[in-house]
Copies of this chain bind each other. A is one copy, B any other.
Amino acid sequence: MLAVTILGNNSALPMHERHPTAQVVTDGERLFLVDCGEGTQIQMIRYKIRRSRIGHIFISHLHGDHYYGLIGLLNSYNLTGRTEPIHLYAPPPLQAILDLQMAAAESRLCYPLVFHALGEDGILFEDTRITVRCFRVRHSIPCWGFLFREQPRPRKVRPEAASAAGVPSSFFPQLKAGEDFIDAQGRRIANEQLTAAPPVPKAYAYCADTSFHEPIAESVRGSDLIYHEATYLDDQWEKAHARHHSTALQAARIARLAGAGRLILGHFSNKYEALDDFREEAATEFPDVEVCREGVTYLVG
């Protein structure tokens, strides 16, 4: 079951008890960290995130509110004696920054840190359960969104039906793959009679910091849950545009264009203490929308 836990929902300055951007995408026991603003490791303690389960970290861009907490987290892994590798997917200049900080501390990591430089849109990570893709968004510096998509699961064998039809268990892999069964008398038994459909794969899209940019809708088409920034309300759309950010209404437009299942909004400007207007404004364009709250876990699909 894919889900995302919000550790920070504010834009640049920490304020109004809100923290800079960080999210944890969970796929069962595995955790993926998406962005890592200052104080993320403290937020992880507060919300009981088991940071040792994080193996992959994705950094969207190199504005400080999205990565200043990373070096502290990497250092803490060192102090707790981590041995499992961390795979870090990030804009290329981050590697030199981390190297310089490690050198200044005369420190070496006691676990492998594998740096994957972000570049062209495409698959960053893939295994039997999930794929993670990156896609470019439009911000003042190079910036990427991330799309987490479950892999299609095999069909589920219905044991009683299979037994009644005389299917040997050695044929179950083919059943799970969708093949029909031909019995000893040569009769074809349709796969659908012997198996149940697996859950539909779910997808979560993190759209990072971006101005309104229609191609994003294509990149995240059909996602069950989309996170889109909404730094401002739409009466500030000119300011949003000038600063390469979006409004709540624009975020909702992307969700509608993408045919999303649900939308969560974040990265709110400090000028807003109350956030209810963000939901209301976005709902005029895309009804299934929420303001994302720190410490809350949103199920995907």
Contacts and interface: CB of A to CB of B under 8 A. Distances in A.
Interface of A: 12-15, 19, 38-39, 41-42, 45, 62-65, 68-69, 71-72, 75-76, 79-80, 91, 93-94, 96-97, 100-101, 103-107, 140-141
Total identical chains: 2
A65 B76 CA distance: 10
Contacts of A45: 14-15
B64 A101 contact: yes
Contact of A72 (B64, B104, B106, B107): B64
15 contacts: A12-B75, A12-B76, A15-B45, A38-B41, A38-B68, A38-B72, A39-B42, A62-B104, A64-B75, A65-B75, A68-B68, A93-B100, A97-B101, A97-B104, A106-B141
B14 A41 contact: yes
Contacts of A15: 45
A141 B12 CA distance: 32
Contacts of A39: 38-39, 42
Given A42-B39, A104-B91, A141-B105, A68 B72 contact: yes
